[in-house]
Amino acid sequence: MKELKNQLYINGEWRPASDGGTFQVLDPATEKVITNVASGTVDDAMLCLKAAEDAFPLWASKSPRERGEILRKAFELITEKLDIISNLITLENGKGASDAIGEARYAAEFFRWYAEEAVRSEGHLGMAPSTGARVLVHQKPAGISVLVTPWNYPAAMGARKIGPALAAGCPVIIKPASETPLTMLALMPILEKAGVPPGVVNVLPSRSSGSVVGAILRDRRTKVVSFTGSTEVGRQILHAAADNVIKPAMELGGNAPFIVCEDANLEAAADGLMVAKMRNLGEACTAANRIYVHENVELEFVERFIKKMAKLKMGNGSDASIDVGPLVNAETRDKVDYFVRDAVSKGAKINLGGKKPEGKGFFYPPTVLTNVPDSADCLSDEIFGPVAAIQTFNSEMEIIERANNTEYGLVAYVYTTDLKRGMNISENLEFGMIGLNRGLVSDPAAPFGGVKQSGLGREGSKEGMLEFQETQYISTEW
């Protein structure tokens, strides 16, 4: 496959790691090695910083319109190559074809959205009330930005950062997850063709994430760190950013409640849960993790939901008829299996699935659990797999309290036909995003992000670009 790039991409050139090191990338459906990828070192990280430093003045001085046109071209080129990008996503991540195409489109949309935002960076003009001095406020590119991304969306998590960074005028160094570096590497010739100059986007896959990212964060040239991944690693990166006073943007873990009220349209709620739970096989920070159904409608809702789950076909995601591919690796699959066994040992009932298959590939079947006790570990940790853990509730007050009873605050879902009730529950939920009668909240036009231990800052929308900008204020008189 000619799109398979497996070297570091620094200053517009492909190169091996400075010590010649590599690491393996596996196909999770077959457990076979796809290729060996160059494993960046601290020396390579310094080359990336130098390339970004040299590229910064030219990129920042391009007019917003020029930057916007390049981003727009990137959107068009990615859209032309959706099948190639989505095949690569499936190959290294495992997700099924429709999820992979959905992700490739979603990734492309960040380039289109930020092509449009690049020309809309706003400032303002005011007057200091006591002195009459003029207050001129504008946004400047923050500078070299390091982007660290997870494996669950190999294209989209990077695009969601590269788009706004480039629109703002910042050069970037991106460190993709070691499980899935190939998609991001394959995007580089596309960005090059779109007109992104050498050094503006550098890709540094590495097995030694801690030391390589750590070295970049200790360097005074680095101005922004934008991280998506687990809360645990996010905290370490925040510590390192604090030592060097680097601007952080953190998209961390979630533990989303999905609330089905007594008056909900149950068919719509079951469809919404299929998206909130099964999109990306549940390997999403936005995945419905704790499902609360009003006790008066539990039986009917669960029956409808199981019917939909039972129709899903599991297998190698490269087959277009497959809905459920493998999970990304053995560790993720075994953790999902542990959550099911733990819940069952504490009294949960398996209504569907629940058995780890034999044979090659990190597969786990769509699973529905009911009677899940509060003590089950899957309710306090991210399941990150196709397992729906269902509990019941009986009052609005109770469900708000239970939904908020988590250290996370990324996204919550509420289904009700009563708008007043829906707004009341939504406004009382301590989450950065609410899907009210919707199982999907992600959109380039919307500010994606969480509160509490789910993160700091927002991606997408206008807010996403501010993460890569510094406000400058000029005081003057005339």
Positions annotated as catalytic residues are 251, 285
Strand order in the sheet with 288-294: 349-352, 367-370, 387-393, 288-294, 256-260, 411-415, 433-436
The yes or no reply on residue 174 touching ligand NAD (CB under 6 A) is no
Nearer to ligand NAD, 213 or 340 (CB): 213
**What's the distance, CA 10 to chain centroid?**
24
Nearest-approach distance from CB 114 to ligand NAD, in angstroms: 17
Q: Interface with ligand NAD includes 150 (CB under 6 A)?
A: yes
- Identify which of 220, 195, 222 has the alpha carbon closest to the alpha carbon of residue 204: 222
Spatial separation of the C-alpha atoms in residues 315 and 99, rounded to whole Å: 14
Residues 358-387, one symbol each (x = binds ligand NAD by CB under 6 A, - = not), give ------------------------x-----
- The span of 96-104, 120-128, 193-201, 209-217 binding ligand NAD (CB under 6 A) equals 209-217
As a whole number of angstroms, the distance between CA 285 and CA 227 comes to: 13
Shortest distance, CB of residue 242 to ligand NAD, whole angstroms?
A: 14
For the purposes of burial, counting CB atoms within 10 Å of the CB of 203, is it exposed (0-12), middle (13-18) or buried (19 or more)? buried
Distance in angstroms (rounded) separating the CA atoms of residues 163 and 283: 23
184 binds ligand NAD per the rule CB under 6 A:
no
Give the shortest CB-332-to-ligand NAD separation in angstroms: 8
Residue 94 found at the interface with ligand NAD (CB under 6 A): no
Instruction: Give the number of residues in contact with ligand NAD, rule: CB under 6 A.
Output: 27
**In the complex with ligand NAD, which residue's Cβ is closer, 422 or 435?**
435
Q: Which of 428-467 are b and which e, b meaning 16 or more Cβ less than 10 Å from the residue's Cβ?
A: ebbbbbbbebebebbebeebbbbebbbbbbbbbbebbbbb
The DSSP 8-state label assigned to residue 128 in this structure reads -
Any contact of residue 458 with ligand NAD (CB under 6 A)? no
The distance of closest approach from Cβ of residue 96 to ligand NAD in the complex, given in angstroms and rounded to an integer, is 18
CB-nearer residue toward ligand NAD: 422 or 460: 460
- Which residues, at least 6 apart from 27, have a Cβ–Cβ distance to it below 8 Å? 33, 34, 91, 92, 94
The strands making up 222-228's β-sheet, listed across from edge to edge, are 13-15, 8-10, 201-203, 172-175, 144-148, 222-228, 247-251, 455-456
CB 398 within 8 A of CB 390: no
Which region, judged by CB under 6 A, interacts with ligand NAD, from 66-74, 151-159, 303-311, 315-323? 151-159
Residue 228 contacts ligand NAD per CB under 6 A? yes
Task: Tell me the C-alpha distance between 29 and 95, whole Å.
Answer: 9
If residue 148 lies in a helix (H) or strand (E), which one and from where to where? strand 144-148
**Where does this chain touch ligand NAD (CB under 6 A) — which range of 104-112, 245-253, 368-376, 392-400?**
245-253
By the 8 A CB rule, do 436 and 414 touch?
yes
When the beta carbons of 169 and 444 are compared against ligand NAD, the nearer one is: 444
What is the Cα–Cα distance from 2 to 84, expressed in whole angstroms? 10
Under rule CB under 6 A, residue 276 binds ligand NAD:
no
Q: Is 229 in the site for ligand NAD (CB under 6 A)?
A: yes
Residue with Cβ nearer ligand NAD (213 or 348): 213
Question: Which lies closer to ligand NAD via its Cβ, residue 169 or residue 254?
Answer: 254
Quick one: 47 or 252, whose CB is closer to ligand NAD?
A: 252
Closest to 63 measured CA to CA, from 187, 217, 169: 169
Does position 151 bind ligand NAD by CB under 6 A? yes
Interface residue with ligand NAD, options 30, 178, 371, 405 (CB under 6 A)? 178
Q: Which of 152, 222, 280, 289 binds ligand NAD (CB under 6 A)?
A: 152
| Dihedral sign of CA atoms 153, 156, 157, 162 in order | positive
Pick from 112, 175, 290, 294 the residue near ligand NAD by CB under 6 A: 175
- Interface ranges with ligand NAD (CB under 6 A): 148-152, 157, 175, 177-178, 209-210, 213, 228-230, 233, 236-237, 251-254, 285, 382, 410, 450, 455
